[in-house]
Amino acid sequence: MDIPKLTKHRLICETLKSQILNGTYPPDSRIPPETELTAKFQASRMTVNRAIKELQMAGYVRRTRGSGTYVLSRQVSESQLLAIMIPCLPDAGIYHGLVRSIEETAFSMGYSIILCNADFSFDKARSYIKELVNHGISGIFFSPIFTLDDPAEKCIAENHKLARLFIENRIPFLCVDSMLENFEPQNYVVPDNEESARSLMSLAIQKGHKKCLYVHSILNSSAHLRIKGARNAMKEHGLNPAHVKLIHLKDFMSMKPMQMQKYISDGISLIYAMDDLTALQVINHLKDLGLRVPEDLSLVSHDDLDFSQDLGLTTVHQDLEKEGMEAIVAMHRLINNEITNIRQLIPSRIVVRKTLGDYCPPAEQPQN
């Protein structure tokens, strides 16, 4: 009977694990850098990185940005280990900044972090929770998962099931980025989405915009709060809240020129994208339709990702550093029973750039 050979990443992972257990790499020591491991095992950087991530997930090592990968002590593995469970880790998005802030603050307070990337899979999330329970995790930062294929109601129910698993296993959990909908008890440290959306929409109204399309790909609590904030701004200015019209991104992207022109004829002058990644797709589609931003339609968004400045995108800047720091402090207090409930909203700020222009209704436009 042939003995199956280990895959390259599994070989690297098992070799390093063995060296950690036999003391070759004692607690708090640094394992060789990825470049050295790449040469030693004749593997790609991606394969080495995957092996180290598995060791990190198993609680053997911690990774410190700009410093290296260090072996965890038994004490840390059993009592000072926290996890971050996020829906996905895309090439761009807010999670990079949020995870970095949490990890850096956690390290300064004596904690180590395991990153759990659910890949939009509730099954994978449940598997992570089982492993985390086995490792005696001290607490979990949780960003609710919403998939593009499932209805919002199903995603909400699945997130409730995950939260109940935390509670059943007596694991303190703290929602970050987005809170759970209609679930108690829960703790959270999240951006103040409702207030930032109200302020952003008020600014647009001051520039003459009275109707907008809100383009979304998911409808989680953050999206609902942004919609609520935008509609509250409408009410505050004596306008009809229903003039914030919702449209799914896939429907927007399939829109033909005549359909878009009908919206414009009906007074739509502003596109409100749920986030910067959505705004990027909106800009590209408007270009395909022969429409200019902001000359034909203005555009606003949330997140202030790195590419937003290059696009001249008017957006909401989320203070990810403060959110991460406050989340760690809150989790530390929950773990040590200093508090039993925390619901903290982190203020955001509007960054005004060129995609938000002044709107002059056609009847009011000067004639040549």
**Does 1 score more than 70 pLDDT?**
no
pLDDT digits (tens, 9 = 90+) for 303-354: 999 899 999 999 999 999 999 999 999 999 998 888 888 999 999 999 999 9
DSSP codes of every residue in 97-116:
HHHHHHHHHHHHTT-EEEEE
Report the candidate in 71, 78, 62, 61 with the shortest Cα–Cα distance to residue 23: 71
Per-residue pLDDT, 75: 45
**Does 58 score more than 80 pLDDT?**
no
**Does 224 score more than 90 pLDDT?**
yes
Average pLDDT, the chain: 89
Per-residue pLDDT, 5: 55
**Does 233 score more than 60 pLDDT?**
yes
- In the chain, where do the E strands start and end? 61-64, 68-71, 81-86, 112-117, 139-142, 173-176, 188-191, 212-216, 244-248, 270-273, 298-300, 315-317, 343-346, 349-351
Please compute the mean of the pLDDT values over residues 202-224 and round it to a whole number.
96
**Weakest-pLDDT range from 81-90, 170-179, 313-322:** 81-90
Q: How far apart are CA 136 and CA 290, in angstroms?
A: 57
Which residue, chain included where needed, has tokens 């910067």?
A: 276
Domain 193-318+350-359: which topology? Rossmann fold (3.40.50)
**Does 76 score more than 50 pLDDT?**
no
Per-residue pLDDT, 172: 93
Pairwise pLDDT comparison (54 vs 16), residue with the higher score: 16
pLDDT band for position 2 (cuts 50, 70, 90): very low
**Does 357 score more than 70 pLDDT?**
yes
Per-residue pLDDT, 368: 47
pLDDT digits (tens, 9 = 90+) for 268-299: 999 999 999 999 999 999 999 999 999 999 99
In this structure, what token pair is assigned to residue 293? Answer: 């931003």
pLDDT band for position 51 (cuts 50, 70, 90): confident
Helices 45-57 and 34-41, interaxial angle, to 10°? 110
Residue 101: which residues within 8 A CB-CB, separation 6 or more? Answer: 320, 321, 322, 323, 324, 325
pLDDT band for position 154 (cuts 50, 70, 90): very high
pLDDT digits (tens, 9 = 90+) for 115-134: 999 999 999 999 999 989 88
Pairwise pLDDT comparison (112 vs 347), residue with the higher score: 347
pLDDT digits (tens, 9 = 90+) for 10-21: 889 888 988 887
Please compute the mean of the pLDDT values over residues 177-191 and round it to a whole number.
94
Q: How far apart are CA 30 and CA 67, in angstroms?
A: 9
pLDDT band for position 106 (cuts 50, 70, 90): confident
Q: Indicate the class that CATH gives domain 8-72.
A: mainly alpha
**Does 93 score more than 80 pLDDT?**
no
Per-residue pLDDT, 4: 44
Sequence spans of domains, the chain: 8-72, 193-318+350-359
pLDDT band for position 57 (cuts 50, 70, 90): low
Pairwise pLDDT comparison (360 vs 84), residue with the higher score: 84
Please compute the mean of the pLDDT values over residues 159-167 and round it to a whole number.
95
Q: Percentage of residues in the chain with pLDDT exceeding 90? A: 66
Which residue, chain included where needed, has tokens 């000072």?
A: 80
C-alpha Rg value of the chain to the nearest Å: 24
Please compute the mean of the pLDDT values over residues 220-249 and round it to a whole number.
97
**Does 266 score more than 80 pLDDT?**
yes
